[in-house]
Amino acid sequence: MDQCAIPARLGESRRPGHAHQPVSPIVKSRRVAVSSRSSDIVVRPRVLSFLLTVALALAALVPAASPAAAATPVCVLACDTLDPSQARQESFPVPTKDLNGRRLVLHVSDADDMAWAGIDNGVPGDAVWLDRSWDGGATWEGLLGKASVPTTWTGTRTLMYNITDPRNHRRGLVRACGDASGVGCTAWVYPTVCDTVCDGTDAGQAAGDDQPVRSTTIYGRTVRLHVDQKNSMAWASIESGGAGDEIWLDRSWDGGSSWPDGSSLGRTSTPSGATTTRTAMYATRDPRGLLHGGAVRACGREAGHNEGSCTAWVRPAPTRARAAADALMTSYDPYNGWWPSSWWNSAATLTSLIDFARTTGRHDHDWAIARTFEQNKGVFPAGVRGSDAIEGHFISRAIDDSGWWAIAWLDAYDYTGDSRYLDEAVTIADYVQQYWDPSTCGGGVWWDRERTYKNAVTNGQYLWLTTAVHQRIPGDTVWLQRAKTAAAWYKASGLINSSRLVNDGLTSDCANNGSTVWSYNQGLAIGAFTELWKATGDDSLLTTARTLADAAVSSPTLTRNGVLTESCDIGSASCDDNQKQFKGIFMRNFADLAKVTGSSTYQAYVQKQADTLWAQDRSSLNALGQRWAGTSPNQTDWRTQAGALGALTAAAG
């Protein structure tokens, strides 16, 4: 239960991290009304006193404290100030504003999630700009892109600005404003969130009534949160009360840390003679705005007291995999096109996201594929994307880091058919090939450019990559021969111990070093031998893959009580940022074997992981942790989320 610190009678629950103080619904509605009146004002000077009145009104309407230069640039698919000539589409979602005979137009490109303003039929000196609000229109950044009609022209336009800001979990509103012998604005665009169903839909149309968190009580009243899981909609109800009791929803795009544009949604009072009432439904996903991880809570107030009470925050779960993917994307940084701040983990996470899309047919997050590619294909000095410099084409001195990006771009190519991803993967594979060295240990790829270590991860990647590149280049024989050579070397290298488990690497004397058996090394080997079997039909390769899979399932080194478990998942241990993602990589490769063999044992194992982590390792915000069995201490971040998504996607497939 969350006791609302701001008196509910006076309006809104506290908004942590929000700069300005919440206002009462009455005051807020007046502010919004004043703001909206700017779209109706037409100033025609008549007498001095009237001019003074108009001047005072305009001072209230135009936010003097927010010049365009003060607005922090927003980057999503592109950054603020993109030229409208580059817009991928153009629509006019709100009516044109007549401003003293001028046409004030708000242009929107939903494909870019951006807007610009234009003014026509004007005279030199007329001005046009955009306002952008992050709190539902209560306040705004004004004068964005302000432009004046040049001499001899009759119109002009602004540059383009983003409507929403997923990186900072902000859903924006924009409007076009102008000054032409008076100030006026169009209506705000997209005040209503729409997914499959729109804000304000009656709860009677819900496709189900789930109550995923405990109700809360206040002065004998019961406040409940209801969720239509199928459509990711929510509503609130208050029961056992009386006339004047109030109920509402709060909606947050950052898991409940703040809710500047989603406070007191659907606020409703219990009618005279009734003991219960409910709000309308509100969406928790905004596909147009690239916001898919919205959280909601129900809040209520008893009529005779000021304080309110709220349930816990909840993110709906239309399906397990969709819920995991939506929560994962709240950590994605579209400004820089990655999940900060881990370079190779971002590659593996993108692969998980692509696998999710390909398996489920959901295209919500496809935009992140191209954004990640475009923002990261260049050169970065050490310390920007990781401790190593990135030298272009996702290449660095860490051979395995480069390999993860090659895997990601091959996956992207398979999903999108865009040849630039295949070209990038081949470029990286060519780089990795340079570190295949038969002069040491008879073969194998070095882990780093300094050639200090031959290990399982780099060689599991290499076997998978050489096979995958061969499969995607018609007529290839070179990569196929490399794959066959790598498979023979891997089986004879000593990386696989007598228990059929893969240790981390080889000693300087080319012997198994007995180091930790990690799930991702086991998984990469399973996936690589399975992939080469697909390419060659050599049954001995599939036998090797099955032997490695059987060992993983049966050995307590990797599986405890039927649940995939790292050594750092046990007791008081904790996994580092690399290890947090290992299990998801295992599941991706293990599921591939389960699919091609049709083994009921393997399929049951996949399902067991998904069922366990969903039941034991999930918060009300669909955050999924490191320990799928739910034991403590547990760790939760976007890396563990991506790992769990791998398991849920495998089960969905």
What 3-state DSSP class applies to 582? helix
Is residue 110 within 8 Å of residue 96, measured between CB atoms? no
pLDDT number for residue 374: 98
How far is Cα 513 from Cα 490, in angstroms, rounded to an integer?
15
How far is Cα 62 from Cα 118, in angstroms, rounded to an integer?
18
How far is Cα 241 from Cα 651, in angstroms, rounded to an integer?
45
Which runs of E-coded beta strand occur in 548-594?
559-560, 563-564
CA atoms within 13 A on the CB side of 301: 24
243-272 tens-digit pLDDT: 999 999 999 999 999 999 999 999 999 999
Is residue 470 within 8 Å of residue 479, measured between CB atoms? yes
Is residue 84 within 8 Å of residue 107, measured between CB atoms? yes
26-43 tens-digit pLDDT: 222 222 222 333 333 333
> In this model, does residue 602 exceed pLDDT 60?
yes
What 3-state DSSP class applies to 185? strand
Q: What is the mean pLDDT of residues 396-408?
A: 98
How far is Cα 184 from Cα 433, in angstroms, rounded to an integer?
63
> In this model, does residue 7 exceed pLDDT 60?
no
> In this model, does residue 2 exceed pLDDT 50?
no
pLDDT number for residue 600: 98
535-591 tens-digit pLDDT: 999 999 999 999 999 999 999 999 999 999 999 999 999 999 999 999 999 999 999
Q: What is the mean pLDDT of residues 175-198?
A: 97
Q: What is the mean pLDDT of residues 76-97?
A: 98
Q: What is the mean pLDDT of residues 324-349?
A: 97
pLDDT number for residue 300: 98
The per-residue DSSP string of 453-504 comes to -BBHHHHHHHHHHHHHHHHHSTT--HHHHHHHHHHHHHHHSS-B-TTS-B-S
Is residue 102 within 8 Å of residue 126, measured between CB atoms? yes
Phi/psi at 53 (nearest 5 deg)? -60, -45
Q: How confident is the model at residue 405 (pLDDT cuts 50, 70, 90)?
A: very high
How far is Cα 582 from Cα 562, in angstroms, rounded to an integer?
17
> Cβ contacts of residue 342 below 8 Å, gap of 6+?
386, 577, 639
Find the distance separating the first CA and the last CA of the chain, reported in whole Å: 38
Is residue 82 within 8 Å of residue 109, measured between CB atoms? no
- Comparing 4-18, 115-129, 275-289, which segment has the lowest mean pLDDT? 4-18
Q: What is the mean pLDDT of residues 445-450?
A: 98
List the one residue out of 345, 446, 450, 487 whose CA is nearest residue 404.
Answer: 345
> In this model, does residue 347 exceed pLDDT 90?
yes
Hey, what amino acid is at 366? D
Is residue 317 within 8 Å of residue 233, measured between CB atoms? no
> In this model, does residue 516 exceed pLDDT 80?
yes
Buried-state track 179-206, b at ≥16 Cβ within 10 A, e below 16: bbbbbbbbbbbbeebbbebebebebeeb
Question: What is the pTM (predicted TM-score) of this model?
Answer: 0.89
pLDDT number for residue 71: 81
616-636 tens-digit pLDDT: 999 999 999 999 999 999 999
The Cα angle at residue 74 between residues 581 and 88, in degrees rounded to 5 = 95
Question: What burial class does residue 414 get, using C-beta atoms within 10 Å of its C-beta: 0-12 exposed, 13-18 middle, 19+ buried?
Answer: middle
Q: What is the mean pLDDT of residues 449-474?
A: 98
Token pair belonging to 46: 């008549």
Hey, what amino acid is at 154? T
What count of residues does the chain have? 653
Cis? peptide before 341, omega within 30° of 0: yes
In terms of phi and psi (left: phi > 0; alpha: psi -120 to 50; beta: otherwise), the region of 211 is beta
Question: What burial class does residue 210 get, using C-beta atoms within 10 Å of its C-beta: 0-12 exposed, 13-18 middle, 19+ buried?
Answer: middle
Is residue 410 within 8 Å of residue 422, measured between CB atoms? yes
Residue-range domains of the chain with CATH? 84-185 (2.60.40), 203-310 (2.60.40), 320-652 (1.50.10.20)
What 3-state DSSP class applies to 285? coil
Q: What mean pLDDT, rounded, does the chain reach?
A: 91
Q: How confident is the model at residue 70 (pLDDT cuts 50, 70, 90)?
A: low
